[in-house]
Amino acid sequence: MGSRREILAGVGAGMVLAGISGRSVAAPSRRIGYAIVGLGSYATRQIMPNFAGCDHARLVALVSGTPAKLEQYGAQYGIPPTHRYSYADFDGIRDNPDIDAVYIVLPNSLHAEYSIRAARAGKHVMCEKPMAVSVAECSAMIAACQQAGKKLMIGYRSRFEPYNRLAIDLARSGHVGPTRLITAEHGFAIKPDQWRLDRPLSGGGSMMDIGIYSLNAARYLTGEEPVAVSAVESTDRSDPRFRTVEDRISFMLRFPSGIIANCISSYSSNHNGYRVIGTQGWIDMEPATPYAGQAMSIRKDGVTAPRTLPTTGKNQFAGQLDHLAECIIDGTTPIVAGEEGMADLRVIEAIYRSATERREIRIGA
């Protein structure tokens, strides 16, 4: 996602795997064509290279406010000039039949606008997380895609990563006994002078970025929606990075079954892991959600041992890209549809409210 200056200038101009759901997918006459919207580092270093590992998806178009990026990546990926768009002519994707879906990789505050415009242009939507900056925006995105008859999927890549998929299966099946407690910690020391530290673009600080991994993990490991949250914020406002956004938030989620999740979100300390603690042991992921290199260990019956999975098959990025393509092909709903993104935003709003009001907040009450 480019620099803050590039983003503001450009926008101002225009203002899993085939078996992941237990089904087989018939080969389409052509692979589903994606347009990538926003050519920052995540798009160019993680998403775009992984189209090479896809069976059902291909990169066909680029959208950026930076002409040099369109030229560079257009040449690198063989995207013709007719399939390179600025933000000013974004709506012209409507007339390009090669584009079936768009992948929105813009700052958080722009997710709703460009997702809605994409749907109105007749395209399916993949949107990076967090889905938007409010539940209201999430609802508008869902409504726009429903009205257009298009799929809406949120970029929860860990749901297509083999170790996380195994952790879900083990936790929900009671492999180490019924889950009683989850700890989930995600954080890193953020560098200054980037859009994530500008609240109008990001919608918040660490909670809207790295903290969503802790929150989403707690939800997918339990398979439940939290009923209450208690949160505490700790931010050094003398640090110029945190003039408008928060640094650390610790939050505790209570689930209907009695499971408690203790979670951390941080922009000043390094964490990437979770542990599912049951009555007979625990399932540990450290690191849990990086781009690569996940590691699992399990303690059961008094014995601790690593769990290693084969490295064959698609990685999480190709799996994610193919999953939306498969859903488009066979008319099914993504496992991380818009409602999943909205569920996270509903909890995030409660977390912020709890930290501000210094009390437990009931969710959905």
Backbone angles phi, psi at 206, to 5 degrees: -60, -30
pLDDT in tens, the chain (365 residues): 444 444 544 444 443 333 343 344 444 457 999 999 999 999 999 999 999 999 999 999 999 999 999 999 999 999 999 999 999 999 999 999 999 999 999 999 999 999 999 999 999 999 999 999 999 999 999 999 999 999 999 999 999 999 999 999 999 999 999 999 999 999 999 999 999 999 999 999 999 999 999 999 999 999 999 999 999 999 999 999 999 999 999 999 999 999 999 999 999 999 999 999 999 999 999 999 999 999 999 999 999 999 999 988 899 999 999 999 999 999 999 999 999 999 999 999 999 999 999 999 999 85
| CB-CB contact of 86 with 2 (8 Å) | no
Q: What pLDDT, on the 0 to 100 scale, is given for residue 226?
A: 98
The Cα-based distances of 329 to 124, 153, 237 in angstroms read 11, 14, 49
Q: What pLDDT, on the 0 to 100 scale, is given for residue 17?
A: 33
Measured CA to CA, the distance from residue 144 to residue 132 in angstroms comes to 14
Per DSSP (E only), the strands in the chain are: 32-37, 57-63, 84-85, 101-104, 124-127, 152-154, 179-187, 228-234, 248-254, 260-266, 271-278, 281-285, 296-300, 303-307, 361-362
Q: Which among 9, 52, 111 is positioned nearest to 317, based on CA atoms? A: 52
Catalytic residue among 73, 77, 103, 129: 129
Measured CA to CA, the distance from residue 213 to residue 215 in angstroms comes to 5
Backbone angles phi, psi at 34, to 5 degrees: -105, 145
Which pair of structure tokens corresponds to residue 24?
């087989």
Look at the block and give the residue holding tokens 């939290």. 226
Q: What pLDDT, on the 0 to 100 scale, is given for residue 312?
A: 82
Q: Is 213 a catalytic residue?
A: yes
Q: Is 123 a catalytic residue?
A: no
Catalytic residue among 77, 87, 156, 213: 213
Q: Which pTM was predicted?
A: 0.92
Per DSSP (E only), the strands in 169-247 are: 179-187, 228-234
User: In order of start, what are the domains of the chain with their CATH numbers?
Assistant: 4-158+318-334 (3.40.50.720), 162-310+345-362 (3.30.360.10)
Q: What pLDDT, on the 0 to 100 scale, is given for residue 29?
A: 58
Please state, as a whole number, how many other Cβ atoms lie within 10 Å of the Cβ of residue 96: 17
